[in-house]
Structure 1
Amino acid sequence: MGDPYILMLVALAVLAIVDLVVGVSNDAVNFLNSAIGSKAISVKKIMIIASLGVFFGAVTSSGMMEVARKGIFNPNMFMFQDIMFIFMAVMITDILLLDIFNSLGMPTSTTVSIVFELLGAAVCISLLKISANDSQSLGDIWNYINHKKAIQIINGILLSVVVAFSVGAIVQFISRLIYSFNFEKRATYINALFGGFAITAITYFIIIKGLKGTPFYSDIKFLIEGNTVTIIAASFVAWSIISQLLIQIFKVNILKLIIGVGTFSLAMAFSGNDLVNFVGVPIAAWNSYQAWEISGIAADSFSMGSLAKKVPSNIWLLLIAGAIMVITLWTSSKAQNVIKTGIDLSRQGEGHEKFKPNPLSRIVVRASMAINTGISYILPKSTLIFIDSKFQKPVIDLPKSKTYELPAFDLVRAAVNLIVAGILISIATSMKLPLSTTYVTFMVAMGTSLADRAWGRESAVYRVAGVINVIGGWFLTAITAFIAAAIVAYLISWDMVMIPVLLAVVTLLIARNTLIHRNKSKEIKKQEFIERAELITINGVIEESADHIAEVATRVNKLYTNVVNDLSNHDLNKLRKTDKHVGKLNDEIDGLKDGVFYFIKSLEETSVQASRFYIIVLGYLQDVAQSISFISRASYKHVNNNHKNLKKAQISDLKQIDEDLSDLLNKVSEIFENRCFDNLSNTLVEKQELFVKVSNSVENQVARIRTDETSPKNTTLYFSILLETKDLVSALMNLLQTYEEFYLSTK
């Protein structure tokens, strides 16, 4: 009888390890963003500090394990078999959800996912039990679900969004008024007092409050309880004096010290709060199995009221979990992807924006501008001038070859991010509320960004859109987690044979997502966004643009051939895929055009000729991309509307044109890949031959219309393809001519 449940425990243990890896990939953003974004400390040192914090946090997380056992449902209403079904459903769903979000590079909440998965699976099993019992009705669902605690947890998570954003914005605004952007010139006592406040907050809330609920707390409980004010006051005085000594005698940058301590403490708070999300369910399952095994009662008859009792967690299991989390931190490429999203949305400077604006982000930005205008009328002019003086960013005189080393934001903001997030998370942990560390750290970072005027007129609409997308992803997580866990729980309760089937599905989907992520990473490396700011010479402009032209020629060649072949086969699915690839090409060229400002600023010298040349080249590349886009979209629309196939003669003409165009594009690609620019004149001659063939095809179609052509839609599509092909070749040839002239002038 016990065999299937032992196998389920083994599966849960494996799922816990996978969940740790997947979950940390998502949550590393929580405690690494500030330190990495500010470049206060080397990445290697940051990782070492964070690793130590994760280990210490693992020890303090045992009090949070109660949430998985009794926080969402009333265990005494469920039998052992029911509990195992719920836990299996939760772990399977959790891994799938987190892996999908990680692959998309979107930070989501492991707390929200685990809470709503427990809720969804518990509701499903409860409904099945109620339906099988004639004496119960739907209203009895509240006897099964710990709805008061569940509502408290959900409200806490939602409230954390508002509180974290507001507190982060207020603290950052006050900190900037104290420090301004010239924080190096502040008096040492200001740094010492700030250090005293920051480290006191960190040590009290993270270490003292963090120990609450652990086996060690009882030994020091008498020292802490009732002495809160004394401890805080003494700590503030002591740390302020220590900070002053460190600054004056050892010349320590106290902000860097705060960031180091803050990273450790936030990693500790994360581990203490979030470890329950990854291993709480398997540990609860193990406790359930131990209680059931010694009972001698059937699995579907043994009540799990024992889960409501406090059970001490195994410290070695927690440390093993901590070790897995640390290894994942150092090795996960998906973690780096998620970290980049958080830093991009909070960085001080402008650059390539990952998210596209939407109507809601535009409304928010316009409303904020209107409020800002209203405030400027209310406040005295002298006050506005004083505030503005504190937000004036210093001009950093760096060689152009070094400007790429500038951090995303400064030390003051990084320190505030860590202090505020750490305090809020540790308060929730001490109250045994599974607060979402992702919500808190992300919203604190967004609040400090707003207060720090990082979202200017050039970037606000994109940053707000990014925040809306991420928050929308959180709500989507909640809804999806609830529904998916309920479905998985139903399948498992229907027949236990579904467990290995679902585990196989999980394995396949994770493998698939990993491959997609790997391929996507390779594509990103190939994209030539001009985000860098290193030195660019005139020869560098030639090299840079040559790479773009070779890449575009190769891809347009493939896309045009695909459109012609797919159109001849009337293959809607392939045309849809080709159209997506065409869209990617257009987006990348738009990205290049968006980066023109940074490219020109990066030139070795003010060269009007080189700048003009680069802008013209990008313009012609955009013309080429727009032509292939029109051809692809028109072909897809034609087939999607179920219009008649093109005639054999029309397909034959298009395939001949495709062969000649492919020949031309291959030569162009080869010239620019090998930098054989002296051969450009020979390629330009071939343009006229291709134009003649296109003109002949137009004349042939006119003749067909007068004799046997009966489809006006076919004629419209055919003429559109021919004319856009001519425009494509014209743009390409104009580009080559411009390139030849510029190349000769530089020689």
Structure 2
Amino acid sequence: METFYLFIVIFLFILAIFDLVVGVSNDAVNFLNSALGAKAAPTRLILGIAALGIFVGAALSNGMMDIARHGIYQPEHFYFSEIMCILLAVMLTDVVLLDVFNSLGMPTSTTVSMVFELLGGTFALSIIKIIGDHTLNFGDLLNTDKALSVILAIFVSVAIAFFFGTIVQYISRIIFSFNYKKTSKYFAGIFGGLATTAIIYFILIKGIKDTPFLPDNYKNWINENTSFLVSCCIIGFTILMQFFYWLRINVFKIVVLLGTFALALAFAGNDLVNFIGVPLAGFSSYMDITSQPGTVNPDTYLMTSLMGSAKTPWYFLIASGTIMVIALFTSRKAQNVVKTSLDLSRQEEGEEAFGTSPVARVIVRVSSNMASSIQNVIPTKAKQWIDSRFNQDEVILKEGAAFDLIRASVNLVLGSLLIALGTSLKLPLSTTYVAFMVAMGTSLADRAWGRESAVYRITGVLSVIGGWFITAGAAFFICFFVTLIIHYGGFVAIIILIALAIFLLIRSQFAFNKKLAQQKGNPTVTKLMSTHDTDEALTLLRKHTREELSGILDTAANTFDHTVTAFMSESYRGLRKTMNRIDDEKIHLKQVKRIGTLGVAHLDNNTAIEKGLYYYQGNDFISEIIYSIGRICEPCLEHTDNNFNPLHSDQKEEFTHIASGITALLQDCKKIIEENDYSRFDDFIKTANSLINSLSQLKRSELRRIQGQKGSLKVSMVYLTMIQEAQNVVAYTINLIKVSRKFQDITNPVE
């Protein structure tokens, strides 16, 4: 039996390694987002500073380990075997759940997942224990007061972070404006001094009392002289930052890099418990039971020892820090999560990662009305002065940056303050929630959510927040059931669950790699949105148009072919899948149009007028092709769903032949546009016109059938719709290739 539990402890630590990797992949967004978004330094330097912060934070994180020992459950009422059951269920659930969210690119909370997993596992065994012993109640088994305070702290931090992010950024922008170089000579030193002092105070002074490396007499001296140290830091760092400014060193870059270090430190200090706290609790439990004299029954030995504070060996902390740093430098999923946060907070408009939602539209509408009412009260001169501080035409952005250094500084300093404050109070605030909501608050204050992008950004924020609640619910219920399975299934259930977890992790990695290959960047759009050269913008817009049109035409050819094939074979499932794909493509078309409109805005007036018309016409024609195919698929789907008579064999034969020609025409159009080679333009037009004539003959033949009252009227109706919309597909394809040639400025003779 001792060997069995030793195996569980070893496996807990193996899971902890995976958890550290997926945890860093998820939480890297918290401390990398601002520095990478502002392009404050080379990526390697930013990662190096973050790595240093993680090492220091890991050393200071010892005090947080108590959450996993007795923060949620009351260990004095649980037996050793029950505690190990809960801890194993928590780790199995956690590593898979976090990996799923990382693969989706959604930042979620490792703290929330751990807390709710512990709640779910403890709740499962509490029910079993209460049923077996009526003298017990949930208050005896669950640390309800602590659990409630932790949960409230986590979710209240969301509102607090967003509120203070908005307020502090608004004040900062009023002081510095977007052209912060004008006002830096007055405020750079003060801002840098206050920011640095705040970081030193909350991160080092507040956190240092828990580190195992500092002697007690030093800790006592720091606690007794805190006010003196803070005063010295304010004066000293203000002078130092002002001196840096006089040396033409960018003070805001220093603040951003220092803030990156601070937030990475706060992350490790606050969140390390989420990754190794549970395995360490299991290790401590195992060491306790094996140290007892004689043979101890794990099913009757109460874990009172977990009531004491954790004394984590330093080598566990250093090893954890090393694994986290390696994961930070190597994880592609971390980059995926960072991208989501940057897309929602960038200053300039561009390709939006999320669509719109009814809730977001209502929020934008109500907010716009409230803003209009407030603006009517503000005096005109005051309003003009405030608007001058938010003049985005003066924004100082490095090439490819999502926002400027002022906002990056506020994100990092304010985020680290809030998280470190929670750490000092032994409340495991979610670094993800705080950092993300601070970033959203600062972007709102910076007017990055304009009327053209607000509904997309809010939808994205709501999607991320919704994912947080899903995390909480999923963590609770999955761990609840996993705990029950382990409790009743024993060793066999553990082996099966371990195999399932490994399978899910491997499948998730393959799915992520596939998704990554599909998304492998669209650098054209990124360059287009950041360029200020109109000639380069036109070149990039033409390239982007070729890429998108060829992709959509390929989809059109496939969906048209699948629609006809599925209808001929009366495959309801095939038509349903095709209809879903058409609906997805309609959503994609809206995104393409929006990006194209933003791209046209980067052109000069003359070029925009001359080429913009062709661009918009091309978008309209490609949209009509997709919509026409949808108008073929929809009645075919309804016809098949109702189990009406199929097409007559003559109808199938004549339409199948022409349908193959239309599919080939769409593929040919795709190839011409993709290769930007219109030398076969005249032959293409002749082929297309021939198809239109053939479809007209089919229509006349079918009308004669109807007049002769041959065949089913319902079949004739759907068949005529297919012919008419197929004609539209060909006609719009002709128009598309004509305007595409003009937009690409190909000098072939005009037809």
TM-score bracket for the superposition, by shorter chain length: over 0.9
- Contact 1:536 1:603 (8 Å CA) reproduced: no
Distance in 1, Cα, partners of 2:540 & 2:148 = 60
In structure 2, the partner of 1:373 is 372
**TM superposition shift of 1:396:** 6.4
Q: CA 1:378–1:613 in 2, change beyond 3 Å: closer, same or farther?
A: closer
Residue 412 of structure 1 aligns with an amino acid whose one-letter code is I
Distance in 2, Cα, partners of 1:43 & 1:222 = 39
Distance in 2, Cα, partners of 1:678 & 1:8 = 69
In structure 2, the partner of 1:428 is 422
Matches within 5 A, 1:295-694: 295=292, 296-395=295-394, 405-496=399-490, 497-525=492-520, 530-533=525-528, 534=531, 535-536=535-536, 543-603=543-603, 606-607=606-607, 608-694=609-695
- Contact 2:59 2:212 (8 Å CA) reproduced: no
- Contact 2:110 2:271 (8 Å CA) reproduced: yes
After TM superposition, the structure 1 stretch with the greater mean CA deviation from structure 2, 500-509 or 627-636, is: 627-636
**TM superposition shift of 1:253:** 1.0
Distance in 2, Cα, partners of 1:231 & 1:458 = 48
After TM superposition, the structure 1 stretch with the greater mean CA deviation from structure 2, 409-418 or 574-583, is: 574-583
- Contact 1:530 1:592 (8 Å CA) reproduced: no
Distance in 1, Cα, partners of 2:31 & 2:415 = 9
TM-score calculated relative to the size of structure 2 = 0.93
Q: CA 1:164–1:334 in 2, change beyond 3 Å: closer, same or farther?
A: same
* Alignment counterpart, residue 258 of structure 2, candidates 255, 261, 281: 261
TM-score calculated relative to the size of structure 1 = 0.93
Q: CA 1:675–1:379 in 2, change beyond 3 Å: closer, same or farther?
A: closer
**TM superposition shift of 1:293:** 2.0
Residue 361 of structure 2 aligns with an amino acid whose one-letter code is R
- Contact 1:80 1:304 (8 Å CA) reproduced: yes
Distance in 1, Cα, partners of 2:598 & 2:521 = 19
Q: CA 1:520–1:604 in 2, change beyond 3 Å: closer, same or farther?
A: farther
**TM superposition shift of 1:381:** 3.7
- Contact 1:529 1:595 (8 Å CA) reproduced: no
1:281-327 superposed Cα distances (whole Å, 9 cap, x missing partner): 11111111111223321121111111111231121122121111111
Identity %: 38
Q: CA 1:677–1:492 in 2, change beyond 3 Å: closer, same or farther?
A: same
After TM superposition, the structure 1 stretch with the greater mean CA deviation from structure 2, 640-649 or 34-43, is: 640-649
Distance in 2, Cα, partners of 1:356 & 1:258 = 35
- Contact 1:172 1:452 (8 Å CA) reproduced: yes
- Contact 1:684 1:736 (8 Å CA) reproduced: no
SS of the aligned residue for 1:352 comes to: coil
**TM superposition shift of 1:556:** 1.8
In structure 1, the partner of 2:283 is 286
Q: CA 1:211–1:383 in 2, change beyond 3 Å: closer, same or farther?
A: same
Distance in 2, Cα, partners of 1:505 & 1:701 = 57
* Alignment counterpart, residue 184 of structure 1, candidates 175, 181, 193: 181
1:196-226 superposed Cα distances (whole Å, 9 cap, x missing partner): 1000000110111122322235242221224
Q: CA 1:547–1:681 in 2, change beyond 3 Å: closer, same or farther?
A: farther
- Does 2:232 match 1:230? no
Distance in 2, Cα, partners of 1:701 & 1:517 = 50
1:209-264 superposed Cα distances (whole Å, 9 cap, x missing partner): 1223222352422212243322211210111111122222x321111100010000
- Contact 1:528 1:548 (8 Å CA) reproduced: no
- Contact 2:198 2:417 (8 Å CA) reproduced: yes
Q: CA 1:300–1:243 in 2, change beyond 3 Å: closer, same or farther?
A: same
SS of the aligned residue for 1:488 comes to: helix
After TM superposition, the structure 1 stretch with the greater mean CA deviation from structure 2, 658-667 or 26-35, is: 658-667
Distance in 2, Cα, partners of 1:299 & 1:654 = 75
**TM superposition shift of 1:631:** 2.8
In structure 2, the partner of 1:400 is none
**TM superposition shift of 1:685:** 0.7
- Contact 1:541 1:610 (8 Å CA) reproduced: no
- Contact 1:189 1:244 (8 Å CA) reproduced: no
Q: CA 1:224–1:522 in 2, change beyond 3 Å: closer, same or farther?
A: same
SS of the aligned residue for 2:258 comes to: helix
Give the CA RMSD over aligned residues.
Answer: 2.4
Q: CA 1:449–1:738 in 2, change beyond 3 Å: closer, same or farther?
A: closer
**TM superposition shift of 1:404:** 8.7
In structure 2, the partner of 1:210 is 207
Distance in 2, Cα, partners of 1:454 & 1:408 = 10
In structure 2, the partner of 1:240 is 238
**TM superposition shift of 1:5:** 1.7
In structure 1, the partner of 2:171 is 174
**TM superposition shift of 1:434:** 0.7
**TM superposition shift of 1:362:** 2.2
- Does 2:15 match 1:21? no
SS of the aligned residue for 2:527 comes to: coil
Distance in 2, Cα, partners of 1:390 & 1:538 = 32
**TM superposition shift of 1:543:** 4.8
After TM superposition, the structure 1 stretch with the greater mean CA deviation from structure 2, 308-317 or 385-394, is: 385-394
After TM superposition, the structure 1 stretch with the greater mean CA deviation from structure 2, 453-462 or 373-382, is: 373-382
In structure 1, the partner of 2:77 is 77
After TM superposition, the structure 1 stretch with the greater mean CA deviation from structure 2, 573-582 or 306-315, is: 573-582
**TM superposition shift of 1:666:** 3.3
Distance in 1, Cα, partners of 2:399 & 2:69 = 48
Q: CA 1:589–1:530 in 2, change beyond 3 Å: closer, same or farther?
A: farther
Q: CA 1:381–1:93 in 2, change beyond 3 Å: closer, same or farther?
A: same
**TM superposition shift of 1:147:** 0.3
**TM superposition shift of 1:740:** 4.7
Matches within 5 A, 1:709-720: 709-710=711-712, 712=714, 714-720=715-721
User: What residue ranges of structure 2 are gaps of 5+ in the alignment?
Assistant: none
Q: CA 1:637–1:418 in 2, change beyond 3 Å: closer, same or farther?
A: farther
Q: CA 1:267–1:639 in 2, change beyond 3 Å: closer, same or farther?
A: farther
In structure 2, the partner of 1:160 is 157
- Contact 2:38 2:398 (8 Å CA) reproduced: no
**TM superposition shift of 1:732:** 0.3
Q: CA 1:373–1:144 in 2, change beyond 3 Å: closer, same or farther?
A: same
In structure 2, the partner of 1:127 is 127
Distance in 2, Cα, partners of 1:198 & 1:541 = 42
**TM superposition shift of 1:745:** 3.8
1:373-416 superposed Cα distances (whole Å, 9 cap, x missing partner): 3333444444333322322234469xxxxx99252111111101
Distance in 2, Cα, partners of 1:741 & 1:227 = 75
1:128-157 superposed Cα distances (whole Å, 9 cap, x missing partner): 122233x347xx122100000000001111
SS of the aligned residue for 1:579 comes to: helix
1:35-64 superposed Cα distances (whole Å, 9 cap, x missing partner): 111112121211111111111111111111
In structure 2, the partner of 1:726 is 727
Distance in 2, Cα, partners of 1:539 & 1:195 = 42
**TM superposition shift of 1:648:** 4.0
- Aligned residue pairs: how many? 737
SS of the aligned residue for 1:41 comes to: coil
SS of the aligned residue for 1:495 comes to: helix
- Contact 1:110 1:274 (8 Å CA) reproduced: yes
